[in-house]
Amino acid sequence: MKVHQVIWFTSCKGLVGIVEATQDDGEHGYYIAPCDGFNATIDANMVAAHGARFPDTAGIAIFGLTHKGEQHGH
């Protein structure tokens, strides 16, 4: 899997990560999950591997489009 972009949100209840990633099977998507917050690389990979699927439209709203003006993998 390859993590392309990540954004973190913090609150008094903890840290949440949203990542844009391409899985090993080539599927591109956005994922969301709570994280420990001790290591950004480990947390981003954990979100991409085990997080809940995040809506594509919301992911595009957060991360934008690629430099070609298209969504990754589409």
What does the domain layout of the chain look like in residue ranges?
Answer: 2-63
4: phi then psi, degrees, rounded to nearest 5: -95, -45
Q: CB count, 10 Å around CB of 18?
A: 21
Per-residue pLDDT, 65: 80
Tens-level pLDDT at each residue, the chain (74 residues): 999 999 999 989 899 999 999 999 999 999 999 999 999 999 999 999 999 999 999 999 999 986 444 555 54
Residue 59, CA distances (Å) to 5, 17, 21, 39, 65 in order? 10, 12, 11, 22, 9
